Amino acid sequence: MWPVHVNGTVAGAMTTTANGHLPTATASFAAALREAVERRQLSLDRICHHLALRGVRLSPATLSHWQRGRSQPERPRSLRAVRELEEILHLPPGALSSLLQPNRPRGRSAVGPPGPHSVHRLYGPGSAVEQLLGDEFEQLNDGVHSLTIHQSIHLDARRHIRRSAVTQVVRALRDGADRLLAVHQLDEGNTPVELTVRCGRLGSVRFDRERGCVVFEVLFGRRLARNETAIVEYDVLIGEGTEPAVFHERGTRVSLREFLLHIHFDEAAPPAACFKYYRDSFTARRREVRRIALDVSRTAHLLPAKCRAGVHGIFWEWPPGRPRSG
């Protein structure tokens, strides 16, 4: 009844190189490693020898690939090697490791970098979001990438969704990213009555009643450097709709490190049953449907072990009879 998508992310770090020098804020892992090796004037064979003395075996070819950006450390042993390299190359802790990109998705769940294709794939052709954003649709949050999203949905005694609370961690994909565009699609008859940004600052707001879609900016308050992270927190308060809500879902065009969807039911109106599901896009059918438990606090939650790109949601069944008016 209330599909929601807030897409975006921002992450990164400021690092220093040997002798306390700061590289440019846009330095990649490969560039920072290459610069540090040049400053120490050590051969790759010599660096591998120092690593071996510390219990980490790495080939000169692997180091060469890292320096040239052909690959990056991802496995636990490689990540340990990066920490040892920071000491061997006289770098502050985190000077290299903070520049590493998120692990690349592997297998059938792997997707390409965010872009117009991923936005269209998620929403489908001619979506309400595309109609509202127009030419901006293809660039939807193309400068940021979501890492984690925690979302709490609160229903009232009349079985209507009245509040959505979101905490999101994002990573900047390039220098200059300064905002996240949040897109919420509402049930028929619903109206957003209040938008509150707790972490960040509310920017422009657009609401299309006919399409049931609200779009608003959450401003970071400054321009981020590439790879820098930011935290966004906001609430969307919703007016009472015309029909009881029966599901909530969220779409993401990229794989997330973590996604938690937490549904809070009113104590006077608990559901009869709850189910989690996944679908490839907002236009695809539900699959991987599994029943989930309602806990003692009358809440249900979804926490995928691997949150791949697509749509993750929970639907519920109401017991027969009308809800009490509370």
| Amino acid identity, position 270 | P
Burial class (CB in 10 A: 0-12, 13-18, 19+), 306: exposed
**Which residue spans within the chain are E strands per DSSP?**
2-6, 144-155, 161-172, 177-185, 192-199, 201-208, 213-224, 229-238, 247-252, 258-264, 273-279, 287-292, 299-302, 310-317
Residues of the chain with CATH 1.10.260.40: 18-94
User: What's the pTM?
Assistant: 0.64
* CB within 8 Å of 154: residues ≥ 6 apart: 161, 162, 163, 164, 165, 264
What pLDDT, on a 0 to 100 scale, did the predictor assign at position 21? 43
Q: Pick the range with the lowest mean pLDDT from 5-9, 61-65, 244-248.
A: 5-9
What pLDDT, on a 0 to 100 scale, did the predictor assign at position 114? 53
Mean pLDDT over each residue of the chain, to the nearest integer: 82
Closest listed residue to residue 205, CA positions, set 186, 176, 223, 182: 182
DSSP lists the bridge partners of residue 307 as: 256
Rounded CA separation 229/9 (Å): 8
Asked whether residue 3 carries a pLDDT value surpassing 80, the answer given is no
Collapsing DSSP states into helix, strand and coil, what is residue 287? strand
Rounded CA separation 30/18 (Å): 15
Top pLDDT among 106 and 134 is at 134
The hierarchical CATH code for the domain 18-94 is: 1.10.260.40
Please answer whether residues 37 and 47 qualify as being in contact, where contact means their C-beta atoms are separated by less than 8 angstroms: yes
Closest listed residue to residue 138, CA positions, set 125, 147, 150: 125
Helix ranges (DSSP H) in 4-137: 29-40, 44-53, 60-68, 76-88, 116-123, 128-133
Rounded CA separation 183/180 (Å): 10
What pLDDT, on a 0 to 100 scale, did the predictor assign at position 304? 93
What is the Cα Rg of the chain in Å? Answer: 23
Please state the separation of Cα 216 from the chain's center in Å. 17
Q: Give DSSP secondary structure letters for 145-161.
A: EEEEEEEEEEE-TTS-E
Rounded CA separation 46/34 (Å): 15
Burial class (CB in 10 A: 0-12, 13-18, 19+), 320: exposed
Please answer whether residues 62 and 44 qualify as being in contact, where contact means their C-beta atoms are separated by less than 8 angstroms: no
Rounded CA separation 124/257 (Å): 24
Asked whether residue 93 carries a pLDDT value surpassing 90, the answer given is no
Rounded CA separation 51/82 (Å): 10
Q: Pick the range with the lowest mean pLDDT from 25-29, 33-37, 180-184.
A: 25-29
Mean pLDDT of the region 104-130: 64
pLDDT in tens, 175-223: 999 999 998 877 665 666 789 999 999 999 988 777 778 889 999 999 9
Rounded CA separation 111/215 (Å): 25
Closest listed residue to residue 91, CA positions, set 17, 172, 145, 173: 17
Please answer whether residues 180 and 168 qualify as being in contact, where contact means their C-beta atoms are separated by less than 8 angstroms: yes
Asked whether residue 106 carries a pLDDT value surpassing 50, the answer given is no
Q: What does the angle CA 62 – CA 65 – CA 71 come to, to the nearest 5 degrees?
A: 100
What pLDDT, on a 0 to 100 scale, did the predictor assign at position 83? 87
Band (4; pLDDT cuts 50, 70, 90) = very low
Residues of the chain with CATH 2.60.40: 2-12+111-317
The CATH classification of domain 2-12+111-317, taken from the options 1.10.3470, 2.60.40, 3.40.50, 2.40.50:
2.60.40
Please state the separation of Cα 289 from the chain's center in Å. 23
